[in-house]
């Protein structure tokens, strides 16, 4: 029966070509617009580290004064230097990394080589294992390197290409901010999106070009900034831009906690630490700690740009308009066929048969609209990628989104056809046959 209905549907569409094309075009445009935005949203709200996100946590403590005007309840996102070092030394988490980012002047270790600025992340040894960073050559530096302020660096694949022309550069040296560093490893392309471990510079964008030990980095002779600093109070030394100032938060801190028991222990340890600092007189507020998992953290920080959310809403209103449009056209079309349906009913077709026939026709329109909508969505995403916006580069249509798009098209066309088909199946055969 399905084959017969399909044949009928194609004939009917061919007979009312203009109407059929208009319906398909409407669905295609609606699907194209909504799938484009859905794909952008899907890419932006993805899990940056699938498989690892469940064990990564972001501890926060609150070192702010009691009476800070306009302060929210939420503790600062980042840690002050003292807290960063204390929590780093706490050592009860299986893995932990303290970090910050800026950019540094780098040149090859050869006379007269040109100086250029590269972005860097200063962090501690566990960063690589904890976040599952893939290495091409060599390996991460060790905890001893961290403790000994060793001058070692891990390069990104792209920076290794630029400075050393690719290849295994482990053991080679380069000059960073006037100091000589030895290459410990080269990592493969690695750029989790959103850039969860440090959202200060926007949640989407490029990965840093090199990684160096945090405490070595703090020793560098000049101030190249310590990432955005959030300071409070009327400190006379604030102009000196001192990273170790007690009233400035700027360092990111992440821990790996493998079991719920570890999470509970760590939370208790944070409260205990805050209490201790409170007793010492450094913390003025009662213990105010947070320990969010990676995905909770992203959710809390609202990483998806407001513009993208709004565009998605608009795209779905367009789809809704397209569907209303299709429903209207289908009602008109099926009602026009009242005579034909009357004859089929008089010859013995049940209401259910007529209903099925109409739905098949709606489904054909949906599949055709969806197939036409996919290239439109592809075109839309191509246009998004051309935009000079930092989240744009990651906009692409993956296979799962293709399936979603096609399913959305067929479902929406069937949804739009449901009611017109039901109405068509209610046609009274006698009345129609009489008027023929």
Partner 1 sequence: MEIRPILASLRKHRIPTVLIVLEIALTCAVLCNAVFMIGQRVAAIRLPNAIDERNLSMVTLGGTDEKTSGSDIPRNLAALRGIPGVQSAAVVSTLPLSHNNWGWSFGTRPDASTFDKKTVNFSLFFLGEGAEQALGLRLLEGRFFNADDYAGSSFGSAPLPETHVTLVTRSVAERLWPGQSALGKTYYSMPHYYTVVGVVADVLRPNIGSQGEDWSYYSAFFPLSAGGSKGNLRRYVLHSAPGDRGRVMRAAEQKLAALNPNGVTKGMLYTDMRDQYFADMRSMAWMLVLVCAVMLAVTAFGIVGLTSFWVGQRRRQIGIRRAVGASRGHIMQYFQTENFLLSGAGVVLGMALAYGINLYLMRHYETASMPWYYLPVSAVALWALGQLAVLGPALRAAAVPPVVATRSV
- 118 or 196: whose CB is closer to partner 1? 118
**DSSP string over 282-331:** S--SSP--EEEEHHHHHHHTT-S-HHHHHHHHHHHHHHHHHHHHHHHHHH
Is residue 268 involved in binding partner 1 (CB under 8 A)?
Answer: no
- 60 or 249: whose CB is closer to partner 1? 249
Q: Which stretch binds partner 1 (CB under 8 A): 75-83, 134-142, 183-191, 320-328?
A: 320-328
Close Cβ partners of 33 (under 8 Å, ≥ 6 residues apart): 315, 318, 319, 376, 380
Pairing mode, if any, of strands 116-123 and 79-80? unpaired
Q: Which of residues 331-370 bind partner 1 (CB under 8 A)?
A: 331-333, 336
Is residue 315 involved in binding partner 1 (CB under 8 A)?
Answer: yes
Q: Report the nearest approach of partner 1 to the CB of residue 322 (Å).
A: 5
Give 3-state DSSP helix, strand, coil % of the chain, rounded to 5. 50, 15, 35
Say whether 168 sits in a helix, a strand or coil. coil
**Helices 260-280/81-90 angle, 10° precision:** 130
Q: Decide if 155 contacts 161 (C-beta within 8 A).
A: no
Between the alpha carbon of residue 146 and those of residues 89, 103, 123, 153, 225, the distances in Å are 12, 20, 9, 11, 21
With CB under 8 A as the contact rule, the residue among 105, 287, 293, 415 that binds partner 1 is 105
Q: Report the nearest approach of partner 1 to the CB of residue 299 (Å).
A: 16
Q: Decide if 61 contacts 288 (C-beta within 8 A).
A: yes
Size of interface with partner 1, in residues (CB under 8 A): 56
Of 40, 78, 44, 42, nearest in space to 61 by CA = 78
Q: Which stretch binds partner 1 (CB under 8 A): 22-30, 160-168, 278-286, 367-375?
A: 22-30
Q: Which stretch binds partner 1 (CB under 8 A): 76-84, 186-194, 234-242, 367-375?
A: 234-242
With CB under 8 A as the contact rule, the residue among 111, 165, 348, 388 that binds partner 1 is 388
* Residues 391-410, mask of contacts with partner 1 (x by CB under 8 A): -x------------------
Alpha-carbon distance of 197 to 406, in angstroms, equals 35
With CB under 8 A as the contact rule, the residue among 238, 367, 371, 418 that binds partner 1 is 238
- 115 or 430: whose CB is closer to partner 1? 115
Of 206, 199, 207, 204, nearest in space to 40 by CA = 204
List of E strands, 142-194: 152-156, 173-176, 179-187
Pairing mode, if any, of strands 179-187 and 135-138? antiparallel
With CB under 8 A as the contact rule, the residue among 11, 147, 149, 178 that binds partner 1 is 178
Q: Report the nearest approach of partner 1 to the CB of residue 429 (Å).
A: 18
Between the alpha carbon of residue 147 and those of residues 6, 213, 435, the distances in Å are 73, 9, 95
Is residue 327 involved in binding partner 1 (CB under 8 A)?
Answer: yes
- 98 or 106: whose CB is closer to partner 1? 106
Is residue 274 involved in binding partner 1 (CB under 8 A)?
Answer: no
With CB under 8 A as the contact rule, the residue among 13, 270, 289, 322 that binds partner 1 is 322
Residues forming contacts to partner 1 in the complex (CB under 8 A) are: 18-19, 22-23, 25-26, 29-30, 32-33, 67, 69-70, 105, 115-117, 177-178, 222-224, 234, 236-240, 306-307, 309-311, 314-315, 317-318, 320-322, 324-325, 327-329, 331-333, 336, 383-384, 387-389, 392, 423
């Amino acid at each position: 029966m399905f084959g017969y209905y399909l044949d009928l549907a194609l004939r009917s569409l061919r007979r009312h070509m203009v109407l059929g094309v208009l319906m398909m075009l409407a669905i295609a445009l609606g699907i194209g617009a909504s799938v484009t935005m859905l794909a952008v949203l899907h890419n932006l709200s993805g899990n940056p580290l699938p498989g690892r996100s469940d064990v990564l946590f972001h501890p926060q403590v609150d070192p702010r004064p009691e009476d800070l005007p306009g302060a929210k309840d939420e503790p600062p996102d980042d840690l002050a230097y003292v807290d960063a070092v204390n929590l780093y030394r706490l050592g009860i988490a299986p893995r932990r990394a303290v970090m910050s980012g800026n950019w540094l002047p780098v040149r090859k270790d050869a006379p007269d080589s040109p100086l250029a600025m590269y972005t860097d992340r200063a962090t501690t040894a566990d960063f690589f294992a904890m976040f599952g960073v893939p290495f091409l050559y060599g390996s991460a530096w060790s905890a001893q390197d961290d403790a000994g302020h060793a001058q070692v660096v891990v390069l990104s694949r792209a920076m290794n290409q630029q400075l050393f022309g690719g290849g295994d550069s482990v053991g080679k040296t380069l000059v960073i901010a006037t100091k000589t560093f030895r290459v410990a490893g080269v990592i493969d392309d690695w750029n989790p999106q959103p850039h969860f471990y440090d959202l200060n510079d926007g949640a989407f964008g490029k990965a840093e070009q090199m990684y160096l030990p945090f405490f070595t980095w703090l020793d560098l002779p000049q101030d190249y900034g310590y990432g955005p600093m959030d300071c409070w109070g009327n400190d006379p030394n604030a102009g000196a831009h001192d990273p170790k100032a007690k009233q400035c938060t700027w360092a990111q801190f992440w821990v790996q906690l493998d079991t719920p028991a570890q999470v509970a222990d760590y939370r208790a340890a944070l409260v205990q630490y805050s209490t201790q600092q409170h007793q010492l007189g450094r913390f003025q507020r009662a213990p105010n700690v947070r320990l969010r998992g990676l995905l909770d953290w992203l959710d809390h920080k609202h990483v998806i740009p407001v513009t993208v959310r709004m565009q998605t809403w608009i795209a779905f209103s367009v789809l809704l308009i397209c569907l209303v449009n299709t429903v209207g056209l289908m009602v008109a079309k099926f009602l026009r066929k009242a005579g034909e349906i009357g004859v089929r009913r008089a010859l013995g077709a049940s209401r259910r048969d007529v209903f099925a026939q109409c739905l098949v026709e709606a489904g054909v329109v949906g599949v055709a609209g969806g197939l036409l909508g996919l290239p439109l969505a592809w075109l839309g995403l191509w246009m998004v990628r051309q935009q000079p916006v930092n989240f744009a580069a990651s906009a692409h249509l993956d296979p799962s989104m293709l399936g979603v798009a096609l399913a959305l098209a067929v479902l929406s066309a069937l949804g739009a056809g449901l009611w017109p088909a039901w109405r068509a199946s209610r046609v009274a055969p006698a009345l129609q046959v009489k008027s023929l």
